Structure 1
Amino acid sequence: MESAGWVNENYYTSIATAGSPHELKIRRIACQNELLQQLNMIPIGEWLSRVNAMHDLIAKTAVQICEAQMREAGYGPPPCAYSFIVFGSAGRQEATLWSDQDNGLIVDGEPDGAKNRYFEVFGTQLSDVLEEAGYEKCEGKVMCSEPMWRKTLQEWKEQLEGWRSQLEWEPVRYLIIASDMRHVAGNAELSAQWLKAYHEGFIDNEKLSTAVLRNTVRHKATLNLLGQVLTERFGDYAGGFDIKYGMYIPLVNSVRHLSLSHGIQESATLNRLTELEQLGQYDYLVDIRTAFLTALRMRSNTPYITQQNGLLLSSDYISEQDLKNKQLMSELRGRLLLVRRIHRALQRQLRAAERRQS
């Protein structure tokens, strides 16, 4: 995805010079409101690059604020090099203006008591700083405050190997989360070594690829047998359509699976598609790219966006009212037909792989 030479330079400088979590939140809100005004005025890919450039800058500033807080609290400077990394939509550079936290830490060297104590406090503090800056804590606890996502490089390698060796639903789910890892702040070499160790585990490992594919094809139906869009039947969003889990996530998952199969180390879906296109092995990638951009646009334009203390919230649902728009419904249905086609192809691929390995 494109880097940002983006909004007004004052917003960039303002975020980078924030000296407290409260200042960071105020400056984030100002930048976010500027970005919201740009939505639909520029291509969605470029707009999302600007949004994620803002998120990265906030994260880097939060790391600096946290280091300063640690010194003020008597912990001193970091005892060794470390890397702050992100996962999920942030890792893929696809975070919305209302995305929550998905992050971790890679710590250099061997674990010891003093180092562990420092980064346990640092990880908890950093997650709190980000929360105060407007990023809700991850319900799945994929955060640097959690021991599973805060480890030395060697401990990370051992954990990745453990996940790869089990091939069960939960460890494979963690591996899939980890596949979207991206370096944001700190020592980039630690992140590079982490990535190398991660992707080496997939080389000539058909059983692991099959296990990832088994997780990938779990996907809720979005069209009925007649090809009609399935909407929510009950609850606050009855009559609406979940664009995140109905369209965006299935496309992300499909492209991720193909990328892991070919050793592609990019984390952003659009960048993964570019590398897959260069292989010349798939004839439907242009359609996937178009559908993915549609999913990004629809997700960013859901009508349930609200503000709470200046921060944006959204449900990721297209409303029942918007679905009455014939052009939108036609476009949505066309993209979902592609999603279903890809899903069925992956199911056939999984059945063939399981027959080979039985």
Structure 2
Amino acid sequence: MEAEWNTDHSYKSIVTAGSPRELKDRRTACQAVLLEQLNVIPIEEWMPRVNAMHDRIAQTAVTLCEAQMKEAGYGPPPCAYSFIVFGSAGREEATLWSDQDNGLIVEGEPDEGKNRYFQAFGARLSDVLEAAGYEKCDGKVMCSEPLWRKTLPEWTAQLAAWKEQLEWEPVRYLIIASDMRHVAGDEGLSAHWKEAFYAGFAENSGLSNAVLRNTVRHKATLNLLGQVLTERFGDYAGGFDVKYGVYIPLVNIVRHLCLLHDIRASSTLNRLDILDKLHKYQHVEEIRRAFLTALRLRVNTPYVMQDGLLSSSDYVSEKDLKNKRLMSELRESLLLVRRLHRALQRQLRSAERRQS
């Protein structure tokens, strides 16, 4: 009960921040409370608290950014807009060191006034979030970028174009977009965006196969004897890449199944709940256990703190891998991922033979 009160108190302090610097300070204070709770409460309860913090920071950043725009002479927003997130934030699985993955949906048809305002707004908002401790995305999935900042009609056209092009890059953009979640602004715009995203998706077998091709690509994690493959060279020699070795493969598998069935939940655990109710897949409970293991391992990877902010490589250390229970859980999860990937690879080969 005390832990919940401390977290609620930290959340409330975030929304009263009056500057990006204050927002960062409130973030580090809330982060300290969350670190105390890590491994004390179940991971499926801890992650929502972390992501509630991120949402409140983003919502406050939007408010601060609007105020900055007025001070800079741009005035209030010329129309409604929605601030949305993708990636781990979209799935409500962001860690304490996750970077930016976001976008903007702007109401109505594009015009010069809107373009001018939201170009400046997107750039400022990305800067405010960076000042609050969120590194800019290396892949440029941010509201400062034209590809991820569009009016609703432009977004609708863009999503339709991506669905028609089955090349690697547009399919990758669609996969990123599939994790979209509304955080601030006009929720109706986000709802219309989702309708446009899912329109015709489940019925498009060519597109489903293109997503599947992306899903079955992953780095080798087990050798022929079923032993865990660790990094051989470099800074993380002896460690294991938990993000791309087990977490992302599970996210991708669950997402693919949900796109097949027009399941519109964004978090992996919610997606699994809905898949379970379909009674079509026998491994749902195994996937859930493996996914919770992946989450727990990921948030416990070694991190460094600088100026109050955390960063991590997402590698389980060689020392931690000597823990027999941890290694057993990791190996069991990786064996499941391998079985699921092999089944999906067979499914893809069969689908490609039918198409040829």
Per-residue deviation, 1:201: 3.2
> Which residue is equivalent to 1:97?
96
Match of 1:136 in 2: 135
Partner of 2:237: 238
Aligned position for 1:198: 197
Name segments (4+ residues, structure 1) moved above 2 Å: 4-10
Q: How does 1:175-254 map to 2 (within 5 A)?
A: 175-254=174-253
State how far apart, in whole Å, the 2-side matches of 1:230 and 1:201 are. 40
Deviation at 1:11, TM superposition (A): 1.0
Letter in 1 for 2:146: P
8 Å CA contact retained: 2:105, 2:151:
yes
- Tell me the equivalent position of 1:29: 28
Q: Secondary structure at the match of 2:18?
A: coil
Out of 309, 322, 325, the position equivalent to 1:324 is 322
Q: What residue number does 1:85 align with? A: 84
Where in structure 2 are there 5+ consecutive unaligned residues? none
> Structure 1 residue 7: deviation in Å?
3.8
Write the letter of the residue equivalent to 1:104: G
Return the TM-score normalized by structure 2.
0.98
Q: Please name the residue that 2:45 is paired with.
A: 46
Q: Secondary structure at the match of 1:265?
A: coil
Q: What TM-score, normalized by structure 1, do the two folds share?
A: 0.98
Number of equivalenced pairs: 354
Q: 1:343 aligns with which of 341, 344, 351?
A: 341
Deviation of residue 204 (structure 1)?
Answer: 1.3
Q: Distance in 2 between matches of 1:215 and 1:322?
A: 31
Measured after TM superposition, the shift of residue 203 of structure 1 is 3.4
Deviations 1:201-232 (A, max 9, x none): 30310000000001111101100111000000
Deviates more, 1:324-333 or 1:23-32: 324-333
CA offset at residue 353 of structure 1?
1.0
Matches for 1:271-282 after TM superposition, within 5 Å: 271-282=270-281
Shift of 1:5: 6.1
CA contact (8 A) 1:242 1:316 kept: yes
Match of 1:167 in 2: 166
Query: Is 1:11–2:10 an aligned residue pair?
Result: yes
In 2, are the aligned partners of 1:7 and 1:35 still within 8 Å (CA)?
Answer: no
Partners of 1:203 and 1:135 in 2: CA distance: 34
Q: 1:238 to 1:6 in 2, by over 3 A?
A: farther
Distance change (3 Å), C-alpha of 1:5 and 1:327: closer
Is the contact made by 1:161 and 1:201 (CA closer than 8 Å) also made in structure 2?
no
| SS of 2:105 mapped into structure 1 | strand
The corresponding residue for 2:311 is: 313
Equivalent residues of 2:7, 2:34 under 8 A apart = no
Identity %: 74
Name the SS of the counterpart of 2:76 in structure 1.
coil
Matched to 1:179, the amino acid is S
Structure 1 unpaired stretches of 5+: none
Look up the equivalent residue of 2:77 and give its one-letter code: P
Distance 1:205 1:35 in 2: 43
**8 Å contact kept, 2:61–2:129:** yes
Supply the RMSD in Å over aligned alpha carbons.
1.0
Distance (whole Å) between structure 2 residues aligned to residue 77 and residue 201 of structure 1: 37
* Structure 1 residues 275 and 77: alpha-carbon distance in aligned structure 2, compared to 1, 3 A threshold: same
Residue 9 of structure 1 and its aligned partner are, at CA, apart by 3.0
Aligned residue number for residue 73 of structure 2: 74
